[in-house]
Amino acid sequence: MKRLLSFATAVAIGLGTITAASAEPKKEFNIAWTIYVGWMPWPYAAENGIVKKWADKYGITINVTQINDYVESINQYTAGKFDGVTVTNMDALTIPAAGGVDTSAIIMGDYSNGNDGVVLKKGKTLADIKGQKVNLVELSVSHYLLARGLSTVKLQEKDIKTVNTSDADIVAAAKSPDTTAVVTWNPQLLEVKADPGATEVFDSSKIPGEIEDLMVVKTETLKDNPNLAKALVGIWYETIALMKDQTEKGKAAREAMAKLSGTDLAGFEAQLKTTHMYYTPKDGAAFMTSADLPKIMDLVRSFCFEHNLLGDNVKSMDEVGIQTPTKTLGAEKNIKLRFDPSYMELAEQGKL
Amino acid sequence: MRRVMNIAPARGSGMLLAAIPFFLIVVIYIIGSAERRAANPDDKLLPPVSEMVQTTQRLATEPDRRSGDYVLWTDTAASLRRLGLGLGISTLVGLGFGLTIGLLPIIGASFGTIVAVISMIPPMAMLPILFIVFGLGELSKVMLIIIGVAPTLIRDMSIEVQSLPREQMIKAQTLGASTWQVAIRVVLPQIMPRLIKSVRLMIGPAFLFLISAEAIASDVGLGYRIFLVRRYLSMDVILPYVAWITLLAFALDYLLGLFARKTFPWAYVEEPR
């Protein structure tokens, strides 16, 4: 009996921590990031006091935490462990937004301009992919890129066979003799492309602006604490100004970021070349407020709906509403993903 | 004085006691799920039981929209096939090598140490090598199970053989038995119960390796599905799959236990059940 009692207490304590996590006092905020060239300013800012500087200015504390696994970081955000996370537009729609967590994108960081690619070992053009087994992280932006690519050569997903392959092991998988086609992103893409006999037949520079890297926060948290967004935007533009800087100071910053992401300066700069960074708040806000964004999000949500990513009970892709400054897609009453350029605009006007 | 160690529950209350922890887990889950749903009606982390039942029903009885498969069954069939092959081959390898290494000093001296060393290598650390050598198909998944499970079985079997009373071997030899006859008639029957016991204990690790292999590169299987839907936090698929895997492993373990008791009743004389 005693054992049963202690078991019950243990579980009760466990449950207690689950519920406690959802009701924190809001002076302290947690932001999660994962390794990707366009997100490396975050750890750099944290290590070099830029985060603290802006947080102090607004009287808050911001903890910047690295999560090793990208999907896990979004899941943790969705489950309530983090107030903000670095994420792509597609994953922001399919994980938090489809999971009912109202999410606002406050920073348009960059779009992939070649950081994602389709590589064939047998074949020289994308059309050659027909009938091949394709290794990729299924249902990820790679899958989206592949679907977009296939449509340009009048092929369908039925014409190929996808094999779900972990992004951590895709480089090793690509070296296996029975692997003939791979879709992946950087830094793995650089490795896969480098193999003799491998040809990159399609990449994200052919669908510019469609794979966007964002900083998102919970809409509810944002409403109650606009200072969090102001601090984050402040941190971001101060740090990427350094990233762009061509003097020694900028080089040192890029070198530090390269090291943090496990590569060297040359490797980091190679990846930056295929990343279209929005270095100024003006450019970021301009893209968010352009008429292209709703068009892109429409393509993305169609893909997500066709692949059942919005949930099994979702009968139409309009059920999850997406709000952009120019147009709202889907249900007005159930807006779960918002593109909010107002904080970037504040930065542009120097009002932070 | 009555000591706690001597208080045994009767059969009925014993079953009740066994059921209580399960019941508690379910209750705690339901409370947690309801609480999260109250805060966010679209919460995916702890879906209510009704939703999981619905999803399971769909996976088991409705063909998939894209492939037309009955997902739960095709996944189960693919995974069980890999597991069966992996565990089966491991068992044969474990028995054959274990017996030889344990019985023949010459073989023991040459291979005993290398097997002991190999059994310490974590197979997950060699994944890239496995991919390149065995490819990404079925072979590499079965091989991962074998590499993970067989060395331990070999060691266990050889130790078991060596622990048999030396007198038996001498006796059999004085009666004119050859090495082959000793192996087949004296050693083999005596180590079979132990073999089944060890295989039962290896079901857990075998599943672990299977799920890992399927998570890394696959297009069908229980592990594949779990890691695929993990991308969008479909706990209504993951939780029933985890329960199903647990049930499969439990059933396999139970059947092996039953088989051992039926086939080698002498090895279980001293056990109460």
Average model confidence (pLDDT) across chain A: 89
Those residues with Cβ within 8 angstroms of residue A312's Cβ, 6 or more apart along the chain or in another chain: B55, B58
Alpha helix ranges (H) inside chain B: 11-39, 49-61, 71-103, 105-118, 127-134, 138-162, 166-174, 179-181, 188-216, 222-229, 235-263
- Check A18 against B32: CB less than 8 A apart: yes
Residues in A touching B234 (Cβ below 8 Å): 311
Q: Mapping DSSP to helix (H, G, I), strand (E, B) and coil, where does residue B248 land?
A: helix
Which contiguous run of DSSP H or E holds residue A244? helix A226-244
Cβ atoms of A330 and A318 within 8 Å: the answer is yes
Residue A3 has pLDDT above 70, yes or no: no
- Check B43 against A100: CB less than 8 A apart: yes
Distance CA B69, CA A158 (A): 14
Q: Mapping DSSP to helix (H, G, I), strand (E, B) and coil, where does residue A21 land?
A: coil
Please report the pLDDT score of residue A178 as a whole number. Answer: 87
In CATH, what class is A116-206?
A: alpha beta
Distance CA A336, CA A216 (A): 12
Please report the pLDDT score of residue A6 as a whole number. Answer: 52
The token duo for A42 is 């975050």
- Check B232 against A4: CB less than 8 A apart: no
Please report the pLDDT score of residue B124 as a whole number. Answer: 85
Distance CA B7, CA A185 (A): 62
Convert the pLDDT of each residue in A301-314 to its tens digit: 999 998 888 877 78
Of A182-191, A254-263, B128-137, B154-163, the poorest mean pLDDT is in B128-137
Which contiguous run of DSSP H or E holds residue A61? strand A61-66
- Check B128 against A169: CB less than 8 A apart: yes
- Check A75 against B21: CB less than 8 A apart: no
Residues in B touching A71 (Cβ below 8 Å): 230-231
- Check A164 against B127: CB less than 8 A apart: no
User: What is the architecture, at CATH level 2, of domain B59-268?
Assistant: Orthogonal Bundle (1.10)
Distance CA A209, CA A188 (A): 21
Distance CA B87, CA B149 (A): 8
Which of the two residues, A155 and A26, has the higher pLDDT score?
A: A155
A19 pLDDT band, cuts 50/70/90, is very low
Convert the pLDDT of each residue in B103-124 to its tens digit: 999 999 999 999 999 999 998 8
Residues in A touching B66 (Cβ below 8 Å): 307
Minimal Cα–Cα distance from A76 to chain B, Å?
10
A20 pLDDT band, cuts 50/70/90, is very low
Query: pLDDT under 50 in chain B at which residues?
Result: none
Residue A4 has pLDDT above 60, yes or no: no
A352 pLDDT band, cuts 50/70/90, is confident
For residues A285-294, average pLDDT: 95
Same CATH fold assignment for domains A26-111+210-348 and A116-206: yes
Q: Where do the structural domains in chain A lie, given as residue ranges?
A: 26-111+210-348, 116-206
Convert the pLDDT of each residue in A125-174 to its tens digit: 999 999 999 999 998 999 999 999 999 999 998 899 999 998 888 988 89
Minimal Cα–Cα distance from A71 to chain B, Å?
6
For residues A191-216, average pLDDT: 93
Q: If you measure CA to CA, which chain B residue comes closest to A18?
A: B32
Q: Where do the structural domains in chain B lie, given as residue ranges?
A: 4-46, 59-268
Q: If you measure CA to CA, which chain B residue comes closest to A100?
A: B42
For residues A82-109, average pLDDT: 94
- Check B136 against A179: CB less than 8 A apart: yes
Please report the pLDDT score of residue B128 as a whole number. Answer: 79
- Check A99 against B232: CB less than 8 A apart: yes
Residue ranges of chain A whose CB lies within 8 Å of a chain B CB = 4, 7-8, 11-12, 15, 18-19, 22, 71, 75, 78-79, 94-95, 98-101, 135, 137-140, 161-166, 169, 171-173, 175-179, 307-309, 311-312, 336
- Check A309 against B42: CB less than 8 A apart: no
ipTM confidence score: 0.71
A94 pLDDT band, cuts 50/70/90, is very high
**Eight-state DSSP code of residue B41:** T
Interface size A-B, in CB pairs within 8 Å, comes to: 109
Please report the pLDDT score of residue A1 as a whole number. Answer: 44
Instruction: Say yes or no: domain A26-111+210-348 is CATH 3.40.190.10.
Output: yes
Residue A16 has pLDDT above 50, yes or no: no
Please report the pLDDT score of residue B271 as a whole number. Answer: 67
Q: Mapping DSSP to helix (H, G, I), strand (E, B) and coil, where does residue B78 land?
A: helix
Minimal Cα–Cα distance from A55 to chain B, Å?
29
CA A144 to each of CA A49, A102, A103, A104, B215: distance values in angstroms, whole numbers, following the listed order = 37, 23, 21, 22, 20
The token duo for A56 is 């102090």
| Residue appearing with tokens 């027909």 | A130
A25 pLDDT band, cuts 50/70/90, is low
Please report the pLDDT score of residue B272 as a whole number. Answer: 57
